């Protein structure tokens, strides 16, 4: 089970961070604690139902912490857990790679409509 199923480990990580709004949620919570509606305001376009679901999934994996204050009206605060912070190196790498990738995509598009079929084959980025 060494060479055989390495992709399983990668996929278990992917399962946790895959989700349309998970990344923006994690970024919002990296440096601050937020209440449910504060979080919702920071994420335009998301609905309560979906925000709740994504938060529950992250909470279930111990990536974030949910603290409920027994008050009226209710107050619920979300924050990143210590365990969740261990994801940061991965997210940093993915952030850098993604930025380069988008740049690369743009240059490819430019080449395609200026050269037609010609290719540089540089591949060195």
Partner DNA sequence: CGGGATCCGGCGGGATACTG
Partner DNA sequence: CAGTATCCCGCCGGATCCCG
Binding site for DNA (CB under 7 A): 18-21, 35-38, 45-50, 52-56, 66, 73-76
Closest CA to 28 of 18, 39, 37: 39
Contact (Cβ atoms closer than 8 angstroms) between residue 58 and residue 64: yes
86 lines the binding site for a copy of itself (CB under 8 A): yes
Cα Rg of the chain (Å, integer): 20
CA dist., res. 22 & res. 78, Å (int): 13
CA dist., res. 90 & res. 80, Å (int): 15
Which contiguous run of DSSP H or E holds residue 67?
Answer: strand 64-69
CA dist., res. 76 & res. 38, Å (int): 10
- Answer with the entry of a copy of itself, DNA, none that 46 interacts with (C-beta below 5 to 8 A by kind): DNA
- Answer with the entry of a copy of itself, DNA, none that 102 interacts with (C-beta below 5 to 8 A by kind): a copy of itself
Burial of 57 (0-12, 13-18, 19+ CB in 10 A): middle
Which of 45, 89, 116, 118: binder of a copy of itself (CB under 8 A)? 89
Closer CB to DNA, 24 or 87, in the complex = 24
- Answer with the entry of DNA, a copy of itself, none that 75 interacts with (C-beta below 5 to 8 A by kind): DNA
Site string for a copy of itself, 45-84 (x = CB under 8 A): ----------------x-------------------xxx-
Binding site for a copy of itself (CB under 8 A): 6-14, 16-18, 23-24, 26-27, 61, 81-83, 86-87, 89-91, 93-99, 101-102, 104, 123, 125
């Amino acid at each position: 089970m060494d060479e055989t199923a390495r992709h399983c480990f990668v996929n278990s990580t992917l399962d946790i961070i895959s989700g349309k709004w998970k990344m923006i949620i994690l970024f919002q919570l990296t440096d601050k604690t937020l209440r449910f509606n504060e979080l919702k305001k920071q994420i335009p376009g998301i609905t309560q139902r979906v925000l709740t679901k994504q938060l529950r999934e992250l909470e279930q994996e111990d990536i974030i912490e949910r603290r409920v204050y027994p008050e009226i009206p209710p107050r619920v605060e979300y924050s990143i857990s210590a365990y969740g912070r261990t994801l940061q190196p991965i997210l940093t790498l993915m952030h850098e790679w993604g930025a380069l990738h988008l740049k690369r995509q743009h240059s490819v598009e430019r080449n395609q409509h200026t050269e037609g079929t010609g290719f540089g084959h540089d591949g060195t980025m």
